[in-house]
Chains A and B, each alone.
Chain A
Amino acid sequence: MNWIETIKSALDSLVERRTRSLLTMLGILIGIVAVILTVGLGEGAQGKVSSAISSLGTNLLIVTPGSVSTGGIRGGLGSSSTLTLADANALNSKVDCPDIAYVSAVMQKNLLLTAGSANWTAPVQGVSPSYLTIRDRQVVSGKAFTQNDVTTHADVALVGSTVAQNLFGFSSPVGQTMNLAGVPFTIIGELNTAGASANANQDNTVLIPVTTGEDLFGARGPYANSVSSILISAKSSSAMGAAYEEANSLLLQRHAITNPSQADFTITPQTSLLSTATSVSKTLTVLLVGIAAIALLVGGIGVMNIMLVSVTERIREIGLRKALGATPGVILRQFLIEATVLGILGGIFGVAIGVIGALVLPHFVSQPIAISSLAITGSVVVAAGIGLIFGVYPASRAARLSPIDALRSE
């Protein structure tokens, strides 16, 4: 009996028991859908995290106050204020730090903004002009502030699109005036839309010259002249290591720290943020795929169960086929094909439903789901393999049946 005839006969027999075949396939199908969606979710989340971190800027080093490696009582990151504007200016020296291209101090405070009758609360950041270059932001209308504005402590501001919309609706914010903590600022430019980053909406922001920021919220209290972070952009990605070393030694020297492990600041390369974030989502993906694999395994056991029932039910048919000249090999092949076809059909329908799910679900759960071609082809192959593997035992039982016993059974 050739392959085509065997496959036809297997299909006939599956169609004849169509309810049971469908239910058996359902087991495989659910497993495959689970694999496709979890792999898609994992890849989607990974993509989202890495693009969010990349959007922070290129070749970025972030200096934050506080440390992660000293003994004794330590506060969390950012809980102390050991970085100053002078540190930032020192890092900008081309002599001490030749591999650093741009430096911007960042001072940040959430403030109430008012313009006419509208009000809105947003993080206001005092930054250097190079901040826009470091973070890869553009001014889409109006103009950016300059070093001169920094020097003169100018009361000028750049606003993100979220702030602009909440204060001025759809009219242009450029040239308008808004009050920050009672001080009137002139809006000289609007920033491009950048979307949400890892933890914040980058469009809900107000940028002012760093010196003005110092006046506005840094002038009094114990943290006078302290900045919340310093952003450093290395000259190239290959210069990241050198820039890190230069910044580290300069800050240690300025803070008069001899033992590097006692440092009162932390420098975090953007790449390490990226790898931490992606490794977390990778772990999660592995876990989810593991669960999906268990679902597939259960589906495979379902196939085996149904094939065993089918062998018992068709014992006389098997006996007859053997009497008519079917060799054990032909019987084995017939049942293996039936089990494999169950697996493949379950896999194909599973992929179809999984892909539809990956297209539809993001509209409801606001999580991107990547459609991975590897997961799709892999799923169908795995489903066929599961049918085949779990079909071996029932099929070999059928093949070993003695024709006499099989024909005799009622």
Chain B
Amino acid sequence: MFAGAPSACGALEAHHEGSSHTRACVIASRFLTGGVINALEPLARAVLYVALMIMVGLPIGMAGVVLPVFRRHDVAAQTALKFARRGLLVACLATMVGATAFFVAQVAPLELEFSSVAEWAEFVQRALLGQMWIARLALGLVALVIVKFGANPAAWLAGCALAGLATQATLTRTSHSAAMGEGWLPVAADFAHLFAGALWGGGLIALLIAVGGAQREDIETTRALIGRFAPFGIAGVALAAGTGIALSSVHVADAETLQASDYGRLILIKVVLVVGAVALAALHRFVILRRMRSQLDVRRFRRALLVESILVLGIFAGAALLASTSPPHHVVTHQMPDGSTHMMLMTDPVFQRALQIAALAILAAGAIACALEWRTRLRSQTR
């Protein structure tokens, strides 16, 4: 019998009470359906999110920041590319492992029993989570092959980023925003949110590779790297914050729910982490960069960058927990004349409007700051 763990274990327990086989099965069963399963889903999500952040953001950071700066400063890029390639290979593998763990974590609570492999295969084929699992595995494998065997860095960086973006789209397809069926805008915001996080986090990792592994203590190159990364970082942070706030306006009904629900509290924790990371980024840009005179300063910057990256990882862990928690939707239903049921999300319009305005303001401020950074960079290049 090809069965879900609990019933299979039940049968085993009846026949082989106390055997090691039974104990192992019971442990597996507890792992799959007990308290541990609650931790497995956010854990698997976190692995997926971070892996995709690397698959999408690292190639963009390498192609958009590191390689152009190295080219201008005549720095050899082989070491950085070697680190990047290794990082991407690990990320591709982690995507496949994370996707599988994610699938297991989501299927196990169903406690489904399958009488044959064919029945199980049919479930995988028909269930959206099965389809998305297969898609994630396939995309991870394609990216792995491209990164491993690609000769031209531009090609394997682009291929990996595209596969990562497609995998992010599969996550959006199974997001809270897609499930609530309120149109394409929340789904698009969800995708933009994931992409923005990758742009920011993956860019930071590219920077770490450049100033850490590949380009040690070269002050001018480091300054150039920070300067070139700034607009990418600002764009990523602003887009992540703006879309994050916009999504909160969709999933959180009012200010009270923000404080009273697990979902709302996780959002607040995420906000605190984002504010911390942004403060640190501002410190890099406006204090450390201007004071950077010695190799000691470069080492300090590297440490600060590491701290910022850890904060970003914390944000991704928060995002994984958030996505694994049900949003506190307040729904009112009405029977319609055609027999269907009309559902309305009950929300506080003032709260919603305030969040929407805040989201737009952050996006606008981000766009302006981005433009100013580009202008500064262009001027310094001209000089």
A binds B: no
